[in-house]
Structure 1
Amino acid sequence: MASLQSKRTEKRSFFATLAAVFWSFVGLRHLADYEKDATSFNPFYVIGAGVVGVGIFIAVLLVVVKLVVA
């Protein structure tokens, strides 16, 4: 039982959070991964990864628009 408690409270790194947010943007997340993520991610990391992901998404859109318009 103690090992289950330690696995639930184990926090994951920012890069693991960034990867999970990326796959969430794409829409390719497994239910088991989602359930594991819900208990192991630091909320501040999720917010930071979301902001980084949105920034990258906007930058890619701007580059595509500039290429199409040019």
Structure 2
Amino acid sequence: MNGQTQKSGGFVKLVKAVFWSFFGVRRRADLENDAAQLNPLHLIAAGVIGAALFILVLLVIVRAVVR
């Protein structure tokens, strides 16, 4: 159970790091903490997935407005 709690906490921390980085409002202390704890490959993958989801949401909004 303890391993699952840490794993989900790591995933949530990863998603939060990517989410706030998209807005550019990261504190330096948080950035340094994330750099020490999170896997860079996971950050890159989450960033690419986040960007794809953002583009998909924009496309859906544009299609809904144009119709």
Scaled by the length of structure 1, the TM-score of the pair is 0.72
List structure 1 runs of 4+ shifted beyond 4 angstroms. Answer: none
- What whole-Å deviation, never above 9, does each CA across 1:12-61 have from its counterpart, x for those lacking one? 72331121001100122111101111221101211111121011111111
**Aligned pairs, how many?**
59
Unpaired segments of 5 or more residues in structure 1?
A: 1-11
Determine the C-alpha separation between the residues in 1 that align with 2:40 and 2:29: 19
**Identity over aligned residues, as a percent?**
51
Counterpart position of 2:63: 66
Structure with the higher helix share, 1 or 2: 2
* Bigger CA radius of gyration: 1
- Structure 2 segments unaligned to the other structure (5+ residues): 1-8
TM-score normalized by the length of structure 2: 0.75
Hey, what's the Cα distance between the residues in 1 that align with 2:31 and 2:40? Answer: 14
- Matched-pair contact (CA < 8 Å) for 1:21–1:49: yes
